[in-house]
């Protein structure tokens, strides 16, 4: 209950801070930047009119959904805020994500809410099917590991697209993860079946070059993102991990990129870093389809877990 109380207090504080921050007026210069970007990026005067009326973000700048439910890339968190609404509204995005691996099958679904492009609240349910590996590990054929992830992220300063060209959007985030398989967590040597990750992300879209760059620092105890618990009897300290992404915009509806994420090996099972190459396409303003080649390294001693990542996201 301690972590739940801490999360509740932090979210309440962040909501109050975001409300006061979003009430600050947008300068004439910032509005001019928004209109110019909308005209260039979205396609002419009609796009500017829609932007003024809707206060909506440029296409794809709400990002996709990470496996833990927050907005960003598929495997890494970014400083982006979920939803299509910009500074005057509340945006929402929902996703279903599937990952096909040689020895495992992963599925998650999540929901994220963005408030005034300042605060993001997210939830994800992760389901990890061990298939034949479950029998080999003695936990049962097709045993499913499950986890709930509750997240909060607040934009501290900077803007993803607008403002000073060399100042990124910077966000502070936390994620409370609750593993639903305590017996398995204990059996593999993890100390806890719940834990909190802390992240600081910096993200910038260089619109004139069609390039987005992200870097994230994460404090974590999670084993396999929490699906195998947190910490170990040998190492129960937080470790600092890094996540990065580089994205190129081929058109206003289509982007390609890559991500890299380092991970701790608390359980000494050979847990490795994650890597992906992805493409995201927006057939409409509210739908984003993402496909990727993902390399998740070794999972529970089964190596070379490489496969296809597929995600459908709906955003307003």
pLDDT, one tens digit per residue, over 196-217 is 999 999 999 999 999 999 999 9
State both tokens at 233: 């009897």
The confidence score (pLDDT) of residue 120 equals 98
**How large is the greatest C-alpha to C-alpha distance in the chain, in angstroms?**
64
**Residue 22 pLDDT grade (very low, low, confident, very high; cuts 50, 70, 90):** very low
User: What is the DSSP secondary-structure string of 166-194?
Assistant: T--EEEEEEEEEEES-HHHHHHTT-SBSE
Q: Distance between CA atoms of 122 and 82, rounded to whole angstroms?
A: 9
Q: Distance between CA atoms of 39 and 45, rounded to whole angstroms?
A: 6
Three-state SS sequence of 208-274 = HHCEEEEEEEEEECECHHHCCCECCCCCCCCEEEEEEEEEEEEECCEEEEEEEECCCCCCCCCCCCE
Whichever domain contains 213, its CATH number is 2.40.160.40
- Residue 101 has a CB neighbour count (10 Å cut-off) of 22
Q: Distance between CA atoms of 256 and 261, rounded to whole angstroms?
A: 17
Encode pLDDT of 271-290 as tens digits: 999 999 999 999 999 999 99
The confidence score (pLDDT) of residue 21 equals 47
Encode pLDDT of 145-185 as tens digits: 999 999 999 999 999 998 888 999 999 999 999 999 999 99
**Residue 112 pLDDT grade (very low, low, confident, very high; cuts 50, 70, 90):** very high
Tell me: pLDDT of 47 over 90. no
Encode pLDDT of 3-17 as tens digits: 555 555 555 555 555
Domain span including residue 142: 2-315
The confidence score (pLDDT) of residue 301 equals 87
- Phi and psi at 30, nearest 5°, equal -65, -40
Residue 16 buriedness (CB in 10 A; 0-12 / 13-18 / 19+): exposed
Which of 7-16, 137-146, 299-308 is the least confident region? 7-16
The enclosing H or E element of 206 equals strand 194-206
Q: What average pLDDT does the segment 281-308 reach?
A: 96
Number of domains in the chain: 1
The confidence score (pLDDT) of residue 3 equals 53
Q: Distance between CA atoms of 285 and 238, rounded to whole angstroms?
A: 40
The confidence score (pLDDT) of residue 87 equals 82
Q: What are the Cα distances from residue 115, in Å, to 124, 167, 264, 300?
A: 18, 22, 32, 38
The confidence score (pLDDT) of residue 123 equals 98
Running DSSP on this structure, what letter comes out for residue 308? E
Q: Which of 14-23, 50-59, 150-159 has the highest mean pLDDT?
A: 150-159
Tell me: pLDDT of 18 over 70. no
Cβ atoms 196, 3 nearer than 8 A? yes
Q: Distance between CA atoms of 207 and 215, rounded to whole angstroms?
A: 18
């Amino acid at each position: 209950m301690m972590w739940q109380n801490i999360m509740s207090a932090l979210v309440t504080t962040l909501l109050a801070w975001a409300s006061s921050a979003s009430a600050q007026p947008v300068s004439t210069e910032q509005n001019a930047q928004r209109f110019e970007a909308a005209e260039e990026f979205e396609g002419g005067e009609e796009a500017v009119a829609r932007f003024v009326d809707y206060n909506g973000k440029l296409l794809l700048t709400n990002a996709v959904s990470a496996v833990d439910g927050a907005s960003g890339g598929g495997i890494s968190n970014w400083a982006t805020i979920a939803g299509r609404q910009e500074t005057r509204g509340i945006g929402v995005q929902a996703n279903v994500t599937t990952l096909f691996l040689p020895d495992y099958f992963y599925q998650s679904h999540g929901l994220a809410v963005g408030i005034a492009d300042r605060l993001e609240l997210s939830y994800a349910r992760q389901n990890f099917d061990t298939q034949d590996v479950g029998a080999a590990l003695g936990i049962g054929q097709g045993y499913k590991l499950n986890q709930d992830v509750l997240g909060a992220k607040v934009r501290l300063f900077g803007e993803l697209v607008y403002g000073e060209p060399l100042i990124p959007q910077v966000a502070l985030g936390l994620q409370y993860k609750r593993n639903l398989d305590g017996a398995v967590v204990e059996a593999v040597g993890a100390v806890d079946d719940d834990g909190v990750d802390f992240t600081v992300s910096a993200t910038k879209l260089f619109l004139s070059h069609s390039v987005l760059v992200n870097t994230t620092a994460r404090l974590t105890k999670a084993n396999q993102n929490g699906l195998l618990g947190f910490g170990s009897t040998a190492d129960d300290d937080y470790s600092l991990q890094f996540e990065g992404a580089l994205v190129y915009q081929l058109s206003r509806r289509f982007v390609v990129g890559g991500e890299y994420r380092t991970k701790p090996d608390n359980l000494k099972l050979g847990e490795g870093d994650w890597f992906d190459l992805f493409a995201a396409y927006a057939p409409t303003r509210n739908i984003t389809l993402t496909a990727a080649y993902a390399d998740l390294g070794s999972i529970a001693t089964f190596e070379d877990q490489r496969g296809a990542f597929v995600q459908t996201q709906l955003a307003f």
